[in-house]
Chains A and B, each alone.
Chain A
Amino acid sequence: MSDLSAPSSVPFPRLRPWLLAVPVLLLIGYLVLMDNGAVSQTGDLLHELMHDGRHLLGVPCH
């Protein structure tokens, strides 16, 4: 890990367990950018709270 000139690659078996974070992160992303109550069960709340962010981050909002 101390070879500065060429970064050593992380072996895939060591990387694999961390990939479990990806679905969790994608769920957060979905709730922020797209959910309209179907998953969060809060009705319009997330849509309205994240409303300006959705528009300005460029995802279709409504």
Chain B
Amino acid sequence: MVRTLLVRGLLLGLLAGLLAGAFAFAIGEPRIDDAIALEEAAAAAEPAPADDGHSHEHGANVTRGQQKFGLFLATGLYGLTIGGIFALAFAGLRGRVGPRTDGGLALAAAGTAFAAVILVPFLKYPANPPAVGDPETITSRTLLYLAMIGVGLLATAIAVTTSRRVPGGAWPRGAAAVAAFVVPVAVAYLLLPTVNEVPAEFPATLLWQFRISSLGTQAVFWAAFGALFGWAADRAARPASAPAPAAAPASA
């Protein structure tokens, strides 16, 4: 059972990652092109302090065409990774926490994971296009981003534990879960530092469009993966002997 879930998680994660890659290619790539054009125009206009080793980009001579291929490689491998980890978490949760059907659990877990691991960090430290963000601070920004993922996961654990201790029906439990999720996240938002590295001249509309396309890429991935994995897990749990009736009413 675990093996089946893991293999399907890996494969369907890869598939959902490629679907998200297609979305990102169609919607997000034009924004990246625009941002790179601005970046290069700004660099060209500058009165040439030139080669002081500040070519943090384009060091390895990967062309834009190769980067657009790399987009699918990145989203595909990302999907594979998430799919595998999700499948193992699913195997652990199954029959212990959450909805009692495999399809329901898959959708609920994917939705929760999207909120905890994507939305929570995104709202605090939103995605940035090229030309936004100081390369000097990449390490601290990465650590802050990972910290927000940790906060999202911790808040989920608190929410699940809390709601299980609340007596009554689905409504009080649901309300308790939401409150127990939101409070630690809000505290983290207030405590952790703000990152503000958008250059004054960077167009606000382009920034917004890029960020929406980035969030959309993740939304496509998690929606596709949750639905595909739920469907596959339902099938995996069903006895293989189900229907395929030998004497199907002549419909062919």
Contacts and interface: CB of A to CB of B under 8 A. Distances in A.
Interface in A2-47: 2, 4-10, 12, 14-15, 18-19, 21-22, 25-26, 28-29, 32-34, 43-45, 47
A60 B125 contact: yes
A57 B217 CA distance: 7
B78 A32 contact: yes
A29 B62 CA distance: 21
A39 B21 CA distance: 25
Nearest to B144: A60
Contacts of A29: 77-78, 81-82
B133 A60 contact: yes
Interface in B50-88: 56-62, 66-68, 70-75, 77-78, 80-82, 84-85, 88
Given A15-B2, A51-B62, A61-B128, A7 B94 contact: yes
B118 interface: yes
A37 to B, nearest CB: 9
Contacts of A45: 60, 62
A40 to B, nearest CB: 11
B70 A50 contact: yes
Contact of B62 (A18, A49, A53, A56): A49
A56 B214 contact: yes
A60 B94 CA distance: 33
B74 A57 contact: yes
Contacts of B152: none
Which of B60, B91, B102, B135 has the most A CB atoms < 10 Å from its CB? B60
A56 B104 CA distance: 29
Interface of A: 1-2, 4-10, 12, 14-15, 18-19, 21-22, 25-26, 28-29, 32-34, 43-45, 47-62
